[in-house]
Chain A
């Protein structure tokens, strides 16, 4: 068992891939009986400081329907200089540059430890990074000032040859013409009328840029005078003027009457931004950054009217079909999102307001393009400022972590097909022999586009085993999958990251134990969770929960050890032991429970869930809880009310919040001031330890989480109490006969009750 955990970890570190099953059932029938689909979590641009990119182009299989890339699984005849594609078995000639290879002189891409290789593409023009700021001016004075300062600061963080542009909006939409001469000009549009891309481009006087690079001359990043437009200029030319322009921005001048919301034309502003980039820089990496301080209240894409007494839609309104603007607004933003994605442009939304801002309707903009969604209370908070700064964070080489314009292609050996992907991507509708007819997530394709991504962007990719039931497995046969990601690196180089993996087939009838032992319950939990959340977008909540429960029961029936009709005999092996717990917490999570969250909040949580890597996704499903005490070093404890003790400090990480909770006795000691007395110095250290650990998390997490410092009896303790398993409630306080832990006042089902039901159903022959 230990070896599989190591195997799983090594593979994740090297290739950024984790599979639900690491030994694959060899027939379609058996694979469906496994309940959890064969799927993987892939982080295409996982940070690999130890992997230098190679400075040549990949070698492709010559079969037009294959075009797989040379990899360590290929058979090579060094004498004849031939290689056999492991996917289609085509024999290919090595290109002339490989004339000198031999068994002792292998190119990197054939060496087993280079299952993941990154190639740098030398040819072609290198286009600069593009940032288009779209700024809401209907903000409070303080907020606008803080936002302006953050934008000015960002000009110092951007590289000098990046292009930058500015659109501001309120009741009207203003497109600012950036020039180095004195007078600033802008084009003003009405916020009520939507325009087509062509109309926008005509009104802005945009012409197609001339072909910028002479083919014989290599492109220099600095000399692209014809590539910029009047609205998007390089930082090194425009930073002083733009700093002044930003500094002079005023609040939207239209007065807001009593009892009304400001008229905010977000829909048209975004439409103009998308149209502007479409017309000037199609198919180039670009970022539209939308900053909003409230909901859109006029024009296409409006989410609520301007009367304050009519509140913005809640989940209750949506269920009762009482959300007037939702369908039309969602359609408007979906249209914009698809256009942006088609051009390789990503859209970020930074929404800072005390009330909802329409993230539910606008979420497709970030989710389809891979843009960021940041939700805060005000632009004048550390949460926004730090999160915004971290977008421009750099890696160990001094390059931005953000990458643009990626396409992910998946190739499989013929026993497998691709059923779909779930993550921040759109389908490229590429059909082929690898594409399954059954869709899970975004299916019907073997290629997806991810317009904005970074080293933590992660997709769930689902497969189907298509081997017929009695078809033989070749001796020692392994299935293989290749992931090819083309993208624009932040240094403007084009790169290709290739990961090729293989796993053994096994006959499920005779080798079930092997398949079981190679189950990755963490990956499986996240993959099933992504499926559940994907379903929740289009199905009713209770149906999704029923589906999730059904899958869990079937899994326990298949892999549990038990005697029929005897729940007490039920056991799960180690490789499954955490799985039911994950499912229990998933059912209670804000991803599947919309109670107590606004539609915007649910959209925000789901957005982050659909793109984080495995470790962070698990934290979101089942928060981490560590206990600090005098009894030893900090230790992980059950996410359970029995872990809440008077003499412990708890640190809980839910990904979105970091909660530090002082037990009753600890809080009393702190109030009495023991930490200030020299003879109780260890108490001071005890109080400091969780603060330091929390700080480490806060140091790197994107987006910045909320930080809650609370204690027994504090009102903020509810964040902890609502997450822990309520093993002790007011209902069973005396039944347990224990006096440890804090009872939680809830009628929610506890993990124990959940497990009891699960065992009963699993062992029952009626199911």
Chain B
């Protein structure tokens, strides 16, 4: 969902900079290892270095081509490759255009819902950042993966899946911090405010249901809430 990819490190600024894993890959629990690289070979006790088994001919003479691929390819190589490759995978343009309104409208609606419950200053701050988001999106400054993930985030937010929405916000902050850092914290706060608003509403509902039931209770008969 959140993009599983590995991109190369910054070779200009750091020598031998390791590749960078996307948030989605990082948070994946490690499955069983392909080849746990923890074994060692004891040095022979009599002192001569052991020559590895079956030397092939390429040595001093000019090299021939590698052995041809046979039908029965060796399992260790064709085995369970992890779902990543070493190139970044920005899924190309088969997707339909993601409209700014589809993302911005639900966010603004959510903000409106929170206005009664949240301090004015916080709402203004969030609103300011949503405006910034709009400006950057309309100005073409946001990349496709960011837009895609924002659409997903808004979907999760609308379905009250707070943890999922939060996770997407985190993945965007980790993978695309340069693009999103200015306004994403507003979205993060919005998710938090909506979450607390909806749990307050749920609590109020429970209370009113309980009082309603109390009023209906016949003397002598217990109703379990």
With an 8 Å Cβ cutoff, the count of chain A residues facing the other chain is: 103
Report if B69 contacts A (CB, 8 A): yes
Give chain B nearest CB distance to A739 CB in angstroms.
7
Report if A74 contacts B (CB, 8 A): no
- Are B82 and A692 in contact, CB atoms less than 8 angstroms apart? yes
Give chain A nearest CB distance to B157 CB in angstroms.
16
Cα separation A751 to B46 with both chains bound (whole Å): 11
- Are B13 and A378 in contact, CB atoms less than 8 angstroms apart? yes
Which chain A residues lie closer than 8 Å to B43 at the CB level?
580-581, 638, 640, 725, 751, 755
Which chain B residues lie closer than 8 Å to A728 at the CB level?
49
Query: Which secondary structure dominates where chain B touches chain A?
Result: loop
- Are A630 and B66 in contact, CB atoms less than 8 angstroms apart? yes
Report if B86 contacts A (CB, 8 A): yes
- Are B65 and A378 in contact, CB atoms less than 8 angstroms apart? no
Which chain A residues lie closer than 8 Å to B65 at the CB level?
669, 672, 674, 680
Most buried by A among B26, B49, B50: B49
B6, B42, B47, B174: the one contacting A389 at CB < 8 Å is B174
Report if B158 contacts A (CB, 8 A): no
Report if B139 contacts A (CB, 8 A): no
Which chain A residues lie closer than 8 Å to B219 at the CB level?
none
Q: Which of B31-39, B140-148, B207-215 lies at the binding interface?
A: B31-39
Cα separation A326 to B189 with both chains bound (whole Å): 47
Q: Mark A230-256, 1 if CB is under 8 A from B, else 0.
A: 000000100110010001000000000
Q: Which of B73-81, B96-104, B105-113, B197-205 lies at the binding interface?
A: B73-81
Which chain B residues lie closer than 8 Å to A708 at the CB level?
16
Which chain B residues lie closer than 8 Å to A699 at the CB level?
21, 25-26, 30
Which chain A residues lie closer than 8 Å to B19 at the CB level?
382, 695, 698, 707
- Are A679 and B17 in contact, CB atoms less than 8 angstroms apart? no
Given contacts A689-B76, A693-B35, A698-B18, are A638 and B41 in contact (CB under 8 A)? yes
Which chain A residues lie closer than 8 Å to B121 at the CB level?
180-181
Cα separation A149 to B175 with both chains bound (whole Å): 11
Which chain A residues lie closer than 8 Å to B39 at the CB level?
624, 636
Q: Which residue of B lies closest to A674 (CB)?
A: B66
- Are B18 and A704 in contact, CB atoms less than 8 angstroms apart? yes
- Are B45 and A577 in contact, CB atoms less than 8 angstroms apart? yes
- Are B63 and A668 in contact, CB atoms less than 8 angstroms apart? yes
Interface size class of B (residues with CB under 8 A): 35 or more
Report if B159 contacts A (CB, 8 A): no
A577, A643, A685, A755: the one contacting B52 at CB < 8 Å is A643
A240, A665, A681: the one contacting B125 at CB < 8 Å is A240
Which A residues, 687 to 721, have Cβ-Cβ distances below 8 Å to chain B?
688-689, 691-693, 695-700, 704-708, 716
Give chain A nearest CB distance to B50 CB in angstroms.
7
- Are A624 and B20 in contact, CB atoms less than 8 angstroms apart? no
Report if A380 contacts B (CB, 8 A): yes
Cα separation A699 to B26 with both chains bound (whole Å): 7
Give chain B nearest CB distance to A697 CB in angstroms.
7
Q: Which of A152-160, A165-173, A302-310 lies at the binding interface?
A: A152-160
Report if A651 contacts B (CB, 8 A): yes
Which chain A residues lie closer than 8 Å to B77 at the CB level?
682, 685-686, 688-689
Q: Which residue of A lies closest to B26 (CB)?
A: A389
Cα separation A672 to B66 with both chains bound (whole Å): 11
Given contacts A247-B182, A682-B77, A740-B55, are A707 and B16 in contact (CB under 8 A)? yes
- Are B189 and A240 in contact, CB atoms less than 8 angstroms apart? yes
Q: Which residue of B lies closest to A377 (CB)?
A: B14
Cα separation A621 to B74 with both chains bound (whole Å): 33
Report if B133 contacts A (CB, 8 A): no
- Are A624 and B40 in contact, CB atoms less than 8 angstroms apart? yes
Give chain B nearest CB distance to A220 CB in angstroms.
14
- Are A647 and B34 in contact, CB atoms less than 8 angstroms apart? no
- Are A669 and B63 in contact, CB atoms less than 8 angstroms apart? yes
Given contacts A152-B173, A739-B59, are A376 and B38 in contact (CB under 8 A)? no
Cα separation A631 to B55 with both chains bound (whole Å): 9
- Are A682 and B74 in contact, CB atoms less than 8 angstroms apart? yes
Which chain B residues lie closer than 8 Å to A707 at the CB level?
9, 16-19
A571, A624, A648, A704: the one contacting B38 at CB < 8 Å is A624
Cα separation A707 to B49 with both chains bound (whole Å): 29
Most buried by A among B14, B20, B76: B14
Give chain B nearest CB distance to A528 CB in angstroms.
17
Which chain B residues lie closer than 8 Å to A153 at the CB level?
173-174, 177, 181
Compute the total of residue contacts between A and B using a CB distance below 8 Å: 238
Report if B134 contacts A (CB, 8 A): no
Report if B170 contacts A (CB, 8 A): yes
Give chain A nearest CB distance to B5 CB in angstroms.
12
Which chain A residues lie closer than 8 Å to B188 at the CB level?
156, 239
Cα separation A150 to B58 with both chains bound (whole Å): 49
Q: Which residue of B lies closest to A753 (CB)?
A: B47
Report if A761 contacts B (CB, 8 A): no
Report if A743 contacts B (CB, 8 A): no
Give chain B nearest CB distance to A529 CB in angstroms.
15
Give chain A nearest CB distance to B200 CB in angstroms.
13
Q: Which residue of B lies closest to A701 (CB)?
A: B18
- Are A681 and B69 in contact, CB atoms less than 8 angstroms apart? yes
Most buried by A among B9, B33, B70: B9
A181, A642, A646, A693: the one contacting B37 at CB < 8 Å is A693
Report if B67 contacts A (CB, 8 A): yes
A382, A636, A658: the one contacting B17 at CB < 8 Å is A382
- Are B45 and A653 in contact, CB atoms less than 8 angstroms apart? no
Q: Mark A645-657, 1 if CB is under 8 A from B, else 0.
A: 1111001010001
- Are B185 and A155 in contact, CB atoms less than 8 angstroms apart? yes
Which chain B residues lie closer than 8 Å to A727 at the CB level?
49
Which A residues, 179 to 209, have Cβ-Cβ distances below 8 Å to chain B?
180-181
Report if A455 contacts B (CB, 8 A): no
Give chain B nearest CB distance to A763 CB in angstroms.
14
- Are B13 and A381 in contact, CB atoms less than 8 angstroms apart? yes
- Are A706 and B16 in contact, CB atoms less than 8 angstroms apart? yes
Which A residues, 116 to 160, have Cβ-Cβ distances below 8 Å to chain B?
142, 149-150, 152-153, 155-157, 160
Cα separation A349 to B6 with both chains bound (whole Å): 27
Report if B10 contacts A (CB, 8 A): yes
Q: Which 5 A-B pairs have the closest CB atoms?
A: A381-B14, A685-B77, A382-B9, A707-B18, A382-B20
- Known pairs A696-B82, A706-B17 / 10 extra A-B pairs, C-beta < 8 Å: A149-B177, A243-B182, A384-B14, A386-B20, A390-B26, A630-B66, A642-B50, A657-B16, A674-B66, A706-B15
Instruction: Sample 30 A-B pairs with CB under 8 A, ordered by A number.
Output: A243-B185, A377-B13, A393-B26, A630-B56, A630-B67, A636-B37, A636-B41, A640-B49, A645-B55, A651-B37, A653-B37, A668-B63, A672-B65, A679-B69, A682-B66, A682-B69, A682-B77, A683-B69, A692-B81, A693-B37, A695-B86, A696-B34, A698-B18, A699-B25, A699-B26, A705-B18, A706-B17, A707-B16, A727-B49, A740-B55
